[in-house]
Amino acid sequence: MTETQKELEMRKTLAHTSWECKYHIVFVPKNRRKVIYGKLRRDAGQILRKLCEYKQVEVIAGTACADHIHMCLSIPPKFSVATIVGYLKGKSTMILFERYSSLRRNFRGHHFWARGYYVSTVGLDEQRVRQYIKNQQDQDSIEDQYDTDLVKDPFRGASSHLKKEDEE
């Protein structure tokens, strides 16, 4: 198979267009809180995948770190990146707050995610972006080992952790 045939197979088509639009997207919880872990992490991944499926957006790669989400998405040209990210963040917030009512106390209003996001187009360096997303979780866990200010319970805050140390 020639390179041209491989390129054509990778592209997707709509009625009158042939396209290959891939984006590396990163978004974070409000105040970059480290709340994405355990069951919430698994649920957030499933929710985001399902929401992408509803809009015919392909999830090429993705990982949920404690304080941010990395996704490599193939978005059809009929949608803008801002529309898809707004949809993902908005709907996932409502679903997460419905499943985890304890999150509402810590995030005012219906704002689980911070306002902005990072996006970059993915061209020929797709493999490098996939590898970066895959390794991001490992890098974060290594950095967390050296973080001495890491709070055991992110919902109570640092003050409750410091009170326990003072009592001991």
Catalytic machinery residues: 132
Give the residue from 78, 41, 40, 46 showing the smallest Cα distance to 59.
46
Q: SS in 3 state form for 72-127?
A: EEECCCCCCHHHHHHHHHHHHHHHHHHHCCHHHHHCCCCCCECCCCEEEECCCCHH
**Rounded-to-integer distance, Cα 6 and Cα 113, Å:** 38
**Tokens 């219906």 — which residue?**
110
Give the residue from 47, 119, 136, 122 showing the smallest Cα distance to 89.
47
**Tokens 């003050």 — which residue?**
159
